[in-house]
Amino acid sequence: MDLGIAGRKAIICASSKGLGKGCAMALAEAGCEITINGRQLDILSATAKEIREKTGAVVHEVGGDVSERSVQDALLAACAEPDILINNNGGPPLKDFRTLDREAILGGVVQNMVTPIELVQRVIDGMVARKFGRIINITSASVLTPLSGLDLSSGARAGLTAFLAGVARDVAHANVTINAILPGMFDTDRIRNNFANAAARQNVPEDKIRADRINGVPAKRLGEADEFGNLAAFLASAHAGYITGQNLLIDGGAFRSAF
C-alpha cells in the first residue's frame, strides 16, 4: 500500500534503536524525510547510515536526551515544519514504588509526560495551519493493565494519554490526529535487560525467565520492532485521518479483554 506520505517530514524521538528505530525505518521506507534522535551518538550515527543505505531517505541526526530543551530546539532546527511527530522516550527502571523519592518521581513524569507535551505544543499549530499532522505517542500496555514495578512509568504515560485526549478532538477538524501505540513485550534492549535483572533477582537462568514470559503471550513470541514501525507508519499515513484519540494495543493478545 502506498501510504501517501512520500516527501513528508517526520521527527522520531529516541529512534537510534528499538521501537523508535522501527518507526524511523518504516517512515523512511514510505518516502519520508526523517529526523532521528538518540543519546548514544555512535549508535545514532550507525542507525542513520543503515536507514540511508536501505531506503535512500534523507536522514538528519540529533543527539542527546529529548527531555532537554536544547535537544528539542535542535530537533526543530533540523525539521522546522514536521508533518509527523513520534514521541518516544526511555522509561523509568523497574522499581518498587516505596523506594521512589520525589526527584525520581518528577524525573519520570518529565520523561514520559511533560516532554511529549512540550513537543506537541511546539508543532501542533503548524500542522493545523498546513491541514496535515500526525502525532503518535509510544506509551505502554501498562497504561491499561498494572505491571508491578512500573508504577511510575504507567502513571506518567497514563497522564500523557489523558492530557492529549481532549487536544486530539480540538484539532481533528484540521486533519491533525493524535494517537498512542501501547506496546506489550517486544524484542528490544529494554525487555532483554528486564529479563536479565529478573533472572538475577530470582537466581534462575535468563532463558527460563524469557520462556516463562513468552509463554504468557497468546502469540507465543515477542514482538518485532519492524511490525511496530509498520503500525506507526500506517497511523502516520494519509489513510488514517479518521483515526484520532485512540490507544492501539499491540501485544500479541497478552492483555485479556473483550473490549
- Across the chain, which has 259 residues, the per-10-residue mean pLDDT values are 97 97 98 98 98 98 98 98 97 90 96 98 98 98 90 96 98 98 94 89 92 96 97 98 98 93
Please report the pLDDT score of residue 4 as a whole number.
98
Whole-number pLDDT of residue 33: 98
The pLDDT, as a whole number, for residue 148 is: 85
DSSP 130-157: HT-EEEEEE--GGGTS--TT-HHHHHHH
Q: Give the model's pLDDT for residue 91.
A: 86
> Count H helices, E strands: the chain?
9, 7
Query: What is the pLDDT at residue 194?
Result: 86
* Beta-carbon contacts of residue 71 (< 8 Å; ≥ 6 apart): 37, 62, 63, 64, 65
| pTM of the predicted protein model | 0.96
| DSSP for residue 115 | H
Could you count the other beta carbons within 10 Å of the beta carbon of residue 163? Answer: 14
Q: Give the pLDDT score at 32.
A: 98
Q: Give the pLDDT of residue 126.
A: 98
The DSSP letter of residue 186 is B
Domains of the chain, earliest start first = 9-184+223-247 (3.40.50.720)
> What pLDDT does residue 94 have?
84
pLDDT of residue 93: 85
CA distance 158 to 249: 14
What is the spatial distance between Cα 213 and Cα 211, in angstroms, rounded to a whole number? 6
Q: Residue 146's pLDDT is what? A: 83
Answer for the pair 134, 85: CB distance below 8 angstroms, yes or no: yes
CA distance 98 to 78: 41
